[in-house]
């Protein structure tokens, strides 16, 4: 199960979140979202736990708890829908005809 974790401060590291979630079960992946240019922490991320029961316990226990002076928002994510950001239409070239052929 993939869990959304939000509303944490920029000084929170992957290890901080890992320490919180490992109390409830195995964590298979953890991803804190960062700005692509500045690498600044955006204040949210995702934790993946393979066991649904452990994930639900973590959500119930950690939602609205404090971490680094902020109150965490912890909830189950909806299934991910793959989307294309920029869809370019492939236009086939049309032949150009002269109006008055000579």
Q: Is residue 102 part of a domain?
A: no
Q: Is residue 101 part of a domain?
A: no
* Mean predicted confidence (pLDDT) in 62-91: 82
Q: Name the percent of the chain lying above pLDDT 70.
A: 82
The domain total for the chain is 1
* pTM for the structure as a whole: 0.76
Q: Is residue 96 part of a domain?
A: no
Determine the structural domain holding residue 12 and report its residue range. Answer: 2-76
User: Whole-angstrom Cα distance, residue 82 to residue 26?
Assistant: 26
Q: DSSP for 1-20? A: -EEEEE---TT--HHHHHHH
84, pLDDT greater than 80 = no
Looking up residue 72, the CATH number of its domain turns out to be 3.30.70.330
Q: Name the percent of the chain lying above pLDDT 90.
A: 72
Residues 6+ positions from 54 with CB-CB distance below 8 Å: 24, 25, 26
Q: Is residue 63 part of a domain?
A: yes
Q: Is residue 88 part of a domain?
A: no
* Mean predicted confidence (pLDDT) in 56-69: 95
Q: Is residue 67 part of a domain?
A: yes
Q: Is residue 81 part of a domain?
A: no
Q: Is residue 94 part of a domain?
A: no
The whole-number pLDDT of residue 68 equals 83
């Amino acid at each position: 199960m993939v869990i959304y974790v939000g509303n944490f401060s920029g000084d929170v590291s992957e290890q901080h979140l890992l320490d919180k979630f490992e109390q409830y079960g195995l964590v298979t992946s953890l991803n804190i979202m960062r700005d692509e240019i500045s690498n600044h922490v955006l204040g949210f991320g995702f934790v993946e736990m393979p066991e649904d029961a452990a994930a639900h316990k973590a959500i119930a226990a950690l939602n609205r708890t404090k971490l680094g002076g902020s109150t965490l928002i912890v909830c189950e994510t909806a299934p991910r829908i793959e989307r294309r950001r920029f869809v370019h239409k492939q236009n086939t070239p049309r032949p150009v005809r002269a109006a008055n052929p000579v």
